[in-house]
A = this chain, B = another copy of it.
Amino acid sequence: MYTVKALKSLFLEYMEANKFDYSPRELFEPVDYILQLGGKRLRPVLLLMSYNLYKEDIKAALPAAYAYEIFHNFSLVHDDIMDEAPLRRGKATIHQKYDINTGILSGDVMLIYAYKYLLDIEKKEVIPEILSIFTKVSADVCIGQQYDINFETAKQVTIEEYLKMIELKTAALIAGAMYTGALLAGASKVDCQNLYEFGLNIGTAFQLQDDILDTYGDAATFGKRIGGDIVQNKKTYLVLTALERANSTQRKQLENLLSSHPVDEEAKIEEVTQLFNELNIKELANKKRDEYHLKAVKNLESLAIEGKKLIPLKNVAESLLKRVQ
């Protein structure tokens, strides 16, 4: 079995050997740019880990891993246009560095190239199923993004609706990557399905963790501004849970805060955080995240795979979800 580090480095080598060095550069240079901004390479590494549970010839899974990474980056490019985000991983977004039209068209070609790499898979007999699952989770990402947009202006969003949205927008692609790795390696349908569920659960836990870190994280390691969601009045798991548990005074206070755009953003962040603290939101969110984490671990343990082979995946899940003290 490969270490996570070894899988990531094999993947990075494959990326390097498969750069978008095509013409016209106006179309493909932005693709190279966004793909080389870095990031955890979470989806491709998880796909390779899923494959590696069953098989050692990692090479056969690299095109699929690349397809998932290309799709993920495509979705970031188009989302960043929609969100008018100037920065991604600390660097200019494509529409900021070039222009919106470049962001649209280079994004489109990325989506097409994700399919191209899936079609490069040598095991031709599994291609229809691999493409079907990819198509399903790709559509889920768009649907999740639309719900996310809808929620911005929705009067009321239930916690259930929110969890469904993050499942679609974030967790589905991770689930698809897990399923694809296992399917490519010839795993049983039951194992493929369990790894899909693992992806959904870990992906949802991961997004809940992101919500928690936005308020309770450490600025030095979080990589984003603490309180960013609060400033933007985002309906996160924390906010929705707080609204659910608040008494009428607290609810009014929270609703006022989360419809305001004050000059003193730090004071707003502090007030909202104070309300979260009164309502025990950090603990409740941690608990919910841990529920998903536990389900994910159970998904792994129900695989037809010996326990010690599961350790690397358990460790990755653990490291994604480090508790905030």
Contact = CB atoms under 8 A, between A and B. Distances in A.
A36 interface: no
Contacts of A285: none
Main DSSP-derived SS at the A contact region: helix
B105 A142 contact: yes
A81 B27 CA distance: 17
A119 B111 contact: no
Given A78-B104, A109-B143, A112-B139, 14 more contacts: A26-B149, A27-B146, A78-B108, A105-B145, A107-B108, A109-B139, A111-B112, A113-B139, A115-B115, A115-B131, A115-B135, A127-B128, A127-B131, A131-B131
Contacts of A146: 24, 26-27, 105
Contact of A27 (B107, B127, B132, B143): B143
Interface string A134-155: 0100110011011101100000
A115 B138 CA distance: 11
A324 interface: no
10 contacts: A27-B146, A82-B104, A82-B105, A100-B100, A109-B142, A111-B111, A112-B139, A115-B131, A116-B135, A127-B128
Contacts of A27: 142-143, 146
- 3 closest A-B pairs (Cβ-Cβ)? A27-B146, A109-B142, A82-B101
A308 interface: no
Nearest to A120: B132
A149 B30 CA distance: 15
A142 B115 CA distance: 15
Contacts of A143: 24, 27, 109
A124 interface: yes
A26 B154 CA distance: 13
